[in-house]
Chain A
Amino acid sequence: MELINFVEITPLTAILLILVGFVGGMVSGFIGSGGAFVLTPAMMTLGAPGIVAVASNICHKFPKALVGALKRNKYGQVDVKLGLILGLFAEAGVLFGKQVMTDIKNTFGAVGTDLYVSAMFVVTLAIVGGFVLKDYRKLKALDAAGQGDEAPELTRLARWVQSVNIPGTMIYSKGAQARLSVLFLAPIGFATGFLASAIAVGGFIGVPAMIYILGLPAIMASATELVIAFIMGLGGTIFYGLEGVVDIRLAMLILLGSLFGIQVGAIGTTYVKDYQVKFTMAVIMLTVLFSRFFYIPGYLAKLEMIEPLPETTLSILKWVGDGVLALALIVGAYTVLSALLKGMKEHKMKQAMLTRTEVAD
């Protein structure tokens, strides 16, 4: 038999969860799909086992994704057919990933899932954070050269994928404005779902894959990702719910803050340049990566995979990990809010100047 404890929710824990949700939502609204990555580590820091944190994060996200997808579909930004097909394969990935997580829980206990989730975070954030940082430098250079608003060309890989014709497997994608083989969609969807089941964020694979491999414009890729997120989130909640690890209190407290934050973040993006968003994303990702890194020795010691560590060393490592995560959240909140307030102030000044000029004319 396996004991899975839910976190005790005191008034302080509740306030912290709402605050974390607010900052997570703000970051999510600011950097787009995949922003909820700060929430899983934060829930784990507050004491939730890795499997419960991932399951509850998935549960809080899927209805939000549905609302977002419906809203953006009105603006014609969603490739519904592509989203549904990728979502179907993502569901298979979620099911497989959930099985991996459950096997780890049954073999090593809740600490095993802590280690698995943390390791997946470190690897994923290192790779994605590195790419985003590279993208930031490129965008900043283009902006400095006055070419920041030009649409990027299709990658060589996307051009090749769109040129491949395998009879019986082709579908037309409105987003890519090309015919694509389902054989390319299957691995992308599966990997997206697998990652979502491990860290509750599949968009790290789904969005870049749609842009760089399938050739969708960025705005359609992030909107279509919402369809995938809804399908795999609903499936993930059912699969994890059947394992008894979805803590609805945790999920809904995060949601309480997150829905306030997500709109602040989304409004913030209208006042800043693309490269500023990328910079924020890279900084938060790399900081969260370091915070998880400090917990890993403690998990390894608990699982007796390394020599036992002295209590003081464990406390210091946990303290540093908590501190670095708090720093990531503060940096995220500060960056988004300062960009928003500065942008609003500049916009108001410009509007006032325009009005004065019109009156003078």
Chain B
Amino acid sequence: MIKDKSKLGSALVWGGLTVALYWLLFHYAGGFQTLAHTTLDACAVGGEYYNNATAELCAAENGTFIEGRWWYVLAPIALAFALSYTHGLFTGLFWDLVGLTAKK
């Protein structure tokens, strides 16, 4: 099945890194969701987040008011870059390994 064994080592390294990043994303999925919902002022009510919140509106719903932090937006951007890079390299090597190449 493997047509070019010289690339196996690199493929395993990039594949391993990709798996580690996906593990990070799904292990801390709750944390990433909280970051996504709290780039703006938000109100947490029973595990759900409401946008366009104010402290008064949130108190009326018996929720917890969370002050937004704009820089939380950098979390998905950083992860998207890292995963595109490692996974992109891995998939390229993967198709080379199985011998799927462009017509010369």
Interface on A for B, CB 8 Å cutoff? 1-6, 9, 59-60, 62-64, 66-67, 106, 234, 237-238, 241-249, 251-252, 255-256, 259-260, 263-264, 266-267, 270-271, 343-344, 347
Contact = CB atoms under 8 A, between A and B. Distances in A.
Nearest to B48: A3
Nearest to B53: A1
Main secondary structure of the interface of B (DSSP, over half): helix
Contacts of A5: 48
A247 B76 CA distance: 8
Contacts of B37: 4, 244
25 contacts: A1-B51, A1-B52, A1-B53, A1-B58, A2-B51, A3-B50, A9-B29, A60-B80, A62-B80, A66-B84, A234-B77, A241-B36, A241-B77, A246-B73, A249-B25, A249-B26, A252-B22, A252-B25, A255-B80, A259-B84, A263-B100, A267-B95, A267-B101, A270-B103, A271-B103
A244 B95 contact: no
A106 B80 contact: no
A116 to B, nearest CB: 18
Interface of B: 22, 25-26, 29, 32-33, 36-40, 42-43, 48-53, 57-58, 61, 70, 72-73, 75-77, 79-81, 83-85, 87-88, 91-92, 94-95, 100-103
B97 to A, nearest CB: 12
B40 A67 contact: no
Nearest to A64: B84
A243 B51 contact: yes
A5 B91 CA distance: 32
